[in-house]
Amino acid sequence: DTAVSQTPKYLVTQMGNDKSIKCEQNLGHDTMYWYKQDSKKFLKIMFSYNNKELIINETVPNRFSPKSPDKAHLNLHINSLELGDSAVYFCASSQITSGGLKTQYFGPGTRLLVL
Amino acid sequence: GENVEQHPSTLSVQEGDSAVIKCTYSDSASNYFPWYKQELGKGPQLIIDIRSNVGEKKDQRIAVTLNKTAKHFSLHITETQPEDSAVYFCAASPNSGGYQKVTFGTGTKLQVIP
């Protein structure tokens, strides 16, 4: 009964390759996010989708392209991987309440290592 | 945009002692302040949150205080236990009716020494 799940958990690949990370939430939330956590543990938001529409798009290279086929799924495709893309990528989801509460529920993370 | 600063970056305490983590924020429109705990190899998990209409909130050994005038908020953990060892993140978010993003602090690595 995992709330937010990500696949794969680990991803090791060569520079220049293209890879995808998948995320699914079964909480019925309407908003999903992608975060990047670097080696210093800094959590930086990359994208956010609300009901399949892109609502937050931070300064992220064009090589990163999110896709939301439905509001329970948010995938991240990365083209031409670079060494600096090595990090842990977290998916999260939340439900905006009438009071503006934005508690985010995080997935277990995908550890990406680019060689 | 919002900027959240968090101190200290690392904190070691003896089991049973208290731990305090402090954060400041810059956007006066922020009114929701969650705290997350991230254990090794896992994603961040919400442990407590506070809204701007509340000055203090407590949940068992964890408490959070908020000073809107000074734009700072703190996490207090009493009677620390080894399982409290983790990285803790504060965060701030404005609520202006739209879908505002949550800005995280830089994290505090807490080590509770048995």
pLDDT (tens digit per residue) in B36-46:
999 999 999 99
Whether B99 has a pLDDT exceeding 80, the answer reads no
List CB contacts (< 8 A) between A96 and chain B: 99
CB A74 within 8 A of CB A32: yes
d(CA B96, CA A26): 27
Name the pLDDT band for B51 (thresholds 50, 70, 90).
confident
Residue B24, phi then psi, degrees to nearest 5: -125, 155
Name the pLDDT band for A40 (thresholds 50, 70, 90).
confident
Q: What is the reported pLDDT for B91?
A: 94
CB-based contact, A42 to chain B, within 8 Å: yes
- Optimal mutation site among B53, B104, B106, B108, interface A, most CBs of chain A within 10 A: B104
Q: Which two tokens stand for residue A26?
A: 């079964």
Find, in chain A, the residue whose alpha carbon is nearest to that of B47: A103
The reply to whether residue A100 touches residue B49, judged by beta carbons under 8 angstroms, is no
**CA of B83: how far to CAs of A39, A74, A115, B112, in Å?**
23, 32, 34, 8
